[in-house]
Amino acid sequence: MKISVANVEHIARLARLELSQSEKELFAGQMDAILGYVDKLKELNTDNIIPTSHAVPMENAFRDDIVHPSIGLEKALANAPDRAGSFFAVPKVIE
C-alpha cells in the first residue's frame, strides 16, 4: 500500500478537508489504486525532456495599464455569507 489512512489524514489537512473514518478508508484504497496506475509513467525515460505547463506556446501576455470600471462594492459583496459594512466578515482568526 502506497497510501495509508495516516497519509490520507495528512493530505486532507493540507487540502483543508475533514473526512469521516469511512471516507478515509475508502479514499486510501481508491488513491492507492489510482497512484498504482499512474506509476506506469515511470516506464518512460524523461531525463532530457522539458516539462509542458501550457499547450500553446505563450510568453507573458502584457496589456496596457488602463483603468476600467469594476463591479463595485455592493455587487462584490452580494454573495457574501456574512458582511460587516464594506468588508467580508469571518469568524475570529486568533484566540
- Site of grid cell 463595485: 72
Nearest 10 degrees: CA dihedral of 44, 50, 51, 55?
Answer: -110
Minimum distance between the CB of residue 1 and another protein, rounded to whole angstroms?
14
Instruction: Considering only residues 6 through 25, tell me which ones interact with another protein, judged by CB under 8 A.
Output: 7-8, 11-12, 14-19, 23
Distance CA 5, CA 21 (A): 9
- Tell me, what DSSP letter sits at residue 16? T
Interface with another protein (CB under 8 A), residue from 21, 52, 65, 84:
52
- The reply on whether position 42 binds another protein by CB under 8 A is yes
Q: Which helix (H) or strand (E) holds 87?
A: strand 87-88
Minimum distance between the CB of residue 25 and another protein, rounded to whole angstroms?
13
Q: Based on CB atoms, which residue is closest to another protein, 15 or 67?
A: 15
